[in-house]
Every structure is written in C-alpha cells, then in structure tokens.
Structure 1
Amino acid sequence: MDGGDVTMKKENKIIIAVLAMLVIAIVIVAAVLILKKIDGSRYVYPEKKEEKAEKAPDFTATLLTGEEFTLSENLGKPVLVNFWATWCGPCVGEMPAFEQLKKDYGDKLVIVAVNCGEKTEAVQGFVDENGYTFAFAIDEKAKISTNIYPTMSIPYTVLIDADGNIAEEFVGAVSAEKQYKIYKEAIEKVLNEKK
C-alpha cells in the first residue's frame, strides 16, 4: 500500500464522517422544527370562513339527567360542545375550564360534554366524583363523534354561535387554565359579534 492510498482512505473517512455529521445535524434540526410545530399547534384554529358560515350539524343525545339534548333546540346563545372520554388525560384535565366557564356565563352559554363510547355508569361516577354542574351527554356507540362531528382525536371542542354556525374548533388540550383562557376569548368574540 503506498502513501497515496492511505491518504485517500483518510480523506474518504473524513468525507464520510463530515457527511454523517451533516445528516445527523439535518435530522436534529428537522426534529426540532417538527416538535416546535406540534407543540405550537396543539390547537387547531381553522381559518375563519368569512364568505359562508358552516352550519353546525344537529344532533340529539341523552344527558346524564335522562333528558334529551338537541343542539337546534339550544340555539339563540352560543353552545360549547366538547367530545371527550374518562380515559383521556387531556380531556379530564380540561374539565375544570368548562366548570369555570359555566360559572362565569351561566345562562348566556350552553355547555355540553359528549362522552365518546363509554357506559353511563362510568361517566356518572366521574361527574359525581368531581362535582361538575354543566351538562354531560352519553354517546355510548360514539355515533355523534364518528358520524356527525368526525374527529381524529379527543378532546375535540366546537364553539357554535347563536345562529348555529361553527365559530371555532379546538383539538387537544394542555391545562385547564390555558384552556379556560382560550375558550373564554373565543366565547367573548362570539358574544361581541352578536351585539
């Protein structure tokens, strides 16, 4: 083996090492950017459809009280519909935000949490244990969250204005405090548009 071969092998090793480091750096930068995007977009705020408002699909569900809740019968004021489950950590974590909104707005806002796919007993136990006072609906077969308001994940919350149009949609949750602020801002916007 002559000196030229050794030098060429060293150069090849250096080039391969530099290329490997470059690939690793690109992967790290891409991962950071993707994670930032995911973290920054935990909430999906669709662009406001100014040209034509999208009507919220009507649905009927049985409340824990045994009464029927029909969306169209509750219009005339904003309605906040939340799709959730007791096994969903972020869903359970944001429930105090809905309770606070219920206290803040009283009869000016309708709040209904539609449970996706669980038995009435499980939901009733959860509500009793936590002392929530807003409406809870049962969708044991998850037909509403699958067919009428299809979503890829929960929690999924829809703010419907007094005219029955979808004003905002929210996917995901972080903390009750942050959720409260986000929902309150959206509700205030809807209430102020009506004036």
Structure 2
Amino acid sequence: MRGMILVISTLLSVLIVACNENTPKSSPRVQLTLPPIATSTPRPTQIPATASPLPTTVSWWPTAIPEATQRAVSVSRINDTVDPTQNLLLKEGEPVPPIVLTDIDGNRYQLDQLQGKVVIINFWTVGCGSCFFEFPLLQAVYEKFGDDILILAVNVSDLAEETRTLATNLGVSYPMFVDPEGAIFIRYFGGAVVPTTYIIRPDGTVYNAYVGPIDRTLLDAILTELGIQESS
C-alpha cells in the first residue's frame, strides 16, 4: 500500500514539473508613445512687420502693354509652281490689268476702270482659317468707308453657292466672286497662297500686296496713307 502511494506521489510530482515547464511565458509588453491629438486649430503666427502690405485696390489691366511678337498664321497654298516668298507679279506702282470679274450675282467689274476709289482685292478659299479671320474685319471697314473704298472678295474655286451661303451666314455685303482653280489669281497676280490681298490706289495703280492675313491696325494705316480717314 505504501509502495502504491509512493508511486502515485512520484507521478504527481513529474506531472506538476512538466506542466510548469510547458506553460508559455508571457510576452514582454511594448509601450508606444503617440503624439497628443490636437483639440483645436493652432492660431497663425503674427505677420512680420517687414511683409509687403496688401493692395487696397485691384487693377484688372496690366501696367504695361507687352511688345508685339510674331504670330503663326495659317495659309493655304494653291500653286506649287510659284515661290510664295518671292514678289507677286503686280508690283507697286504698276497699273492693274484689264481683267473682268463677275460676282456671284452676275455683276461685272473691269479692274482697270474702277478708279476714284481705293480697291481691296482679297483672294481667299473655303477651308482657309486665316481667310475667315478677315471677313468681319473687311465688313467693318466696308461699312465704315463704303463711299471711298470697294472690296472684291475672290474665292479661288468654283464653289459659287457655298460662297453665297458663307456670305449670308457671315453678314458680308461686299461683292463676292469665284475664280475656278485660281486661274486669274495665278495668271495675272502670280498668286501662290491665300489669303493674299491687293490694295489698288484710286488712280488704278498697285499700292501694295500682302500675303497672309491682314489685321485692322495694318488696314487702318494703309487707308490713312491713301487719304481714307474717319470724318471728325
């Protein structure tokens, strides 16, 4: 009996030791230090006395006008045999040839007989962006100086109905023409690209020719030099 008790006691001792050895030790604790949460928005610091004061008024215009720079323009080339950088056929001071143009309404104009007014011959075509830029400009000048100038707008194509529709939609009231395949433009004026604008003096001679779009400043300066000015 004592032997049995001894055996049981021995077994209990072994089990207790084994349990103590197999019990996992607790992991060490790691303490994190977090920044405190802001309970209110921090107030801004005072503006230094050396800071530039805010303006009391706001100007919507620049104090100086920037110098004019060259701008890229779009032109349409219609004659590959002519160098557009060279002078056109009609030079300054030369008389215009006796060409007859018929507008889309059937009216005939013989160029060498259109004397007494400044004649502006504007060659253009459908699909030329810079050409369309000139229409409202020329219309404004025509309405202002119509008694002293004549504007002839020549479409270097055979699109008569399209030309008529365009004139109606844009409110153009000066004469419109078509020049199929630019035959007159190329043969008599040496044209290569549009827009190209010829200015004819009241005596029927060429004042100058301009390849590319013209603007109001240039046109006003030309008319002033030719004696066309707004009445005071």
Identical positions, percent: 23
Q: Which residue of 2 aligns with 1:185?
A: 221
Question: Counterpart amino acid of 1:99?
Answer: Q
Letter in 1 for 2:160: T
| Residues 159 and 187 in structure 1, CA contact (< 8 A), matched pair in contact too | no
Tell me how far apart the structure 2 counterparts of residues 39 and 57 of structure 1 sit (CA, whole Å): 33
In structure 2, do the counterparts of structure 1 residues 190 and 115 end up closer, same or farther at CA, with 3 Å as the change threshold?
same
Which has the bigger relative contact order, CA under 8 A and spacing at least 6? 1
Alignment of 1:90 with 2:126, yes or no, is no
**CA 102–38 in structure 1, closer or farther in 2 if over 3 Å, else same:** closer
Q: Is contact 2:136–2:170 with CA below 8 Å preserved after alignment?
A: no
Is the 1:100–1:180 contact (alpha carbons within 8 Å) kept by the matching residues of 2?
A: no
Q: Indicate which of 168, 185, 203 corresponds to 1:145.
A: 185
- Residue segments in structure 2 that go unaligned for 5+ positions in a row: 1-68, 76-84
Number of aligned residue pairs = 148
- What is the aligned counterpart of 1:59 among 99, 114, 117? 99
1:71-90 correspondence to structure 2 within 5 Å: 71-90=111-130
Return the alpha-carbon distance in structure 1 between the equivalents of residues 170 and 185 of structure 2.
Answer: 24
How far 1:57 moved relative to its partner? 2.4
What is the match of residue 125 of structure 1?
A: 165
Find the residue that maps to 1:142 and give its secondary structure. Answer: helix
Query: Which amino acid in structure 1 is aligned with residue 197 of structure 2?
Result: T
Alpha-carbon spacing, 1:37–1:182, altered in 2? closer, same or farther (3 Å): closer
Give the structure with the larger helix fraction: 1
The answer on 1:172 being equivalent to 2:208 is no
Which residue among 149, 154, 158 is the counterpart of 1:114? 154
Task: Please give the TM-score of this superposition, normalised by the length of structure 1.
Answer: 0.67
Counterpart for residue 15 of structure 2: none
Q: Which runs of 5+ in 1 are unaligned?
A: 1-35, 47-51
Tell me which of 87, 104, 107 is aligned to 2:144: 104
TM normalised by structure 2 equals: 0.57
Task: Please give the alpha-carbon distance, in whole angstroms, between the structure 2 residues aligned to 1:94 and 1:37.
Answer: 18
When residues 100 and 37 of structure 1 are mapped into structure 2, their CA distance, relative to the original with a 3 A threshold, is closer
| 3-state SS of 1:133 partner | coil
Residue 187 (structure 1) shift: 1.5
Q: CA deviation at 1:182?
A: 0.9
Provide the aligned C-alpha RMSD in A.
2.9
Contact 2:114/2:204 (<8 A) preserved: no
Report the Cα distance in structure 2 between the residues aligned to 1:87 and 1:39, rounded to whole angstroms: 17
Query: For residues 103 and 181 of structure 1, what CA distance do their matches in structure 2 show?
Result: 17
59-68 vs 81-90, greater mean Cα deviation? 59-68
Moved segments of 4+, more than 3 Å: 36-40
1:157 alignment partner in structure 2: 197
